[in-house]
Each structure stands twice: as structure tokens, then as C-alpha cells.
């Protein structure tokens, strides 16, 4: 009879443990479902952002604080391939894409200015042998912060060649 009572107590303890395990299992299942839903939402947001970035006319490049490529959109990739005959690669230091030592120094100086918190915009002509004239870009450097902590530099480039040509035509007309 003592054996039966002992077996009964052990069985009740196992039932209690089984209920606790079942409760924990249900909590884990609900957490897993929640994580999967959040993951799907993040994936959707990522795809939306990618669609926006890849369908803009601006080259967008994000560098980390060491000047390494963290992000670039399709137009930046295409422009780099066209002007520099190189593929952009994540993790590559962006100054290595410069065609000359002077250009490398210029890029490094601009990057440092942005790292110091300065946002600035300028127009620059980039020569390519395929064109009779240079291609003009409006280039913007901005420091990028995450919750007040500097995480890198964003570079935005827009082809403004058509605008420059139109301005030149107007200037020529005004002179005559």
C-alpha cells in the first residue's frame, strides 16, 4: 500500500510537471508566432525601403565610421561601374574607388568633415571619356546618427548635367 501511495504521489508530481511544461510550451509557441510575425513585418519594410532606394534617381551610399561601405542602392552601383569600372562591395573602404591620389585625398577629407558633424552640398563635374563634356553631380555628405551616436556618413549624388546645360544656355542667351 505504501508503494501504491508513493506511485500515486510520483504520478501527481509528473502530471504537475507535465502541465507546467505544456504551459511553457504554449508560451514559447506564442512567442515564436510573434517573432515570426515581426520578422515578416521587418522583411516587408526592408523590401519597401529597398524599392524606394532602388527607384530613386539619386546614388545613395552609407559608410560606417571607418569609411567602409554599409549600404548602396542600384544607381550608386551602376554609376560606380560606369565611372570607375569597379563593382561596389560591402565592407570595402570607399576611398579605394578613387581614380587618382588627389581624388582619394579629396574623398577622405570630405568624409572626415562629415564625421565631425558637418553636412555639406557641392556640385562637381566628373569626367568620363565616353562624353564630350563632364557629367555634373550634386553631391551631399551628411553625418548619420543612431540615437545621438554617430554611426557613419551618407553620400547622396544626383546627376545635374541637364540642369547645368540649361543654365549655361540661359547665361549665353542673356549675354547676347
Question: Over the stretch 122-161, which tens digit does the pLDDT of each residue have?
Answer: 999 886 666 666 788 999 999 999 999 999 999 999 999 8
For residue 77, report the phi and psi dihedrals to the nearest 5 degrees.
-65, -45
CB atoms < 10 A from the CB of 134, how many? 13
pLDDT band of 21, cuts 50, 70, 90: very high
pLDDT band of 165, cuts 50, 70, 90: confident
* Residues in contact with 61: Cβ distance below 8 Å, sequence separation at least 6, in sequence order: 69, 71, 72, 76, 88, 94, 154, 155, 156, 157
Say which residue the cell 500500500 belongs to.
1
pLDDT digits (tens, 9 = 90+) for 106-125: 999 999 999 999 999 999 98
3-state secondary structure of 133: coil
Nearest CA to 95 out of 81, 83, 109, 82 is that of: 109
CB atoms < 10 A from the CB of 62, how many? 18
- Please check the confidence at residue 1 and state whether its pLDDT lies above 90: no
**Alpha carbon distance 77, 58 (integer Å):** 11
User: Which comes out higher in pLDDT, residue 104 or 85?
Assistant: 104
Average pLDDT of the chain to the nearest whole number: 91
Rounded percentage of the chain residues whose pLDDT exceeds 90: 68
pTM: 0.75
- Residue 130: the pLDDT is 61
- Please check the confidence at residue 100 and state whether its pLDDT lies above 80: yes
Please say whether the beta carbons of 74 and 91 come within 8 A. Answer: no
**Alpha carbon distance 101, 93 (integer Å):** 15
Amino acid at each position: 500500500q505504501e508503494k501504491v501511495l508513493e506511485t500515486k504521489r510520483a504520478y501527481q508530481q509528473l502530471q504537475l510537471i507535465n502541465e507546467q511544461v505544456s504551459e511553457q510550451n504554449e508560451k514559447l509557441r506564442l512567442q515564436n508566432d510573434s517573432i515570426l510575425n515581426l520578422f515578416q513585418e521587418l522583411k516587408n519594410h526592408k523590401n519597401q525601403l529597398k524599392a524606394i532606394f532602388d527607384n530613386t534617381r539619386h546614388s545613395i551610399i552609407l559608410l560606417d565610421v571607418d569609411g567602409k561601405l554599409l549600404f548602396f542602392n542600384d544607381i550608386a552601383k551602376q554609376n560606380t561601374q560606369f565611372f570607375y569600372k569597379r563593382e561596389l562591395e560591402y565592407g570595402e573602404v570607399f576611398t579605394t574607388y578613387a581614380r587618382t591620389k588627389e581624388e582619394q585625398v579629396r574623398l577622405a577629407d570630405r568624409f572626415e568633415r562629415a564625421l565631425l558633424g558637418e553636412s555639406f552640398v557641392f556640385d562637381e563635374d566628373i569626367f568620363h571619356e565616353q562624353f564630350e563634356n563632364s557629367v555634373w553631380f550634386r553631391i551631399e555628405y551628411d553625418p548619420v546618427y543612431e540615437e545621438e551616436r554617430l554611426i557613419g556618413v551618407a553620400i547622396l549624388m544626383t546627376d545635374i548635367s541637364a540642369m547645368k546645360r540649361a543654365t549655361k544656355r540661359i547665361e549665353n542667351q542673356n549675354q547676347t
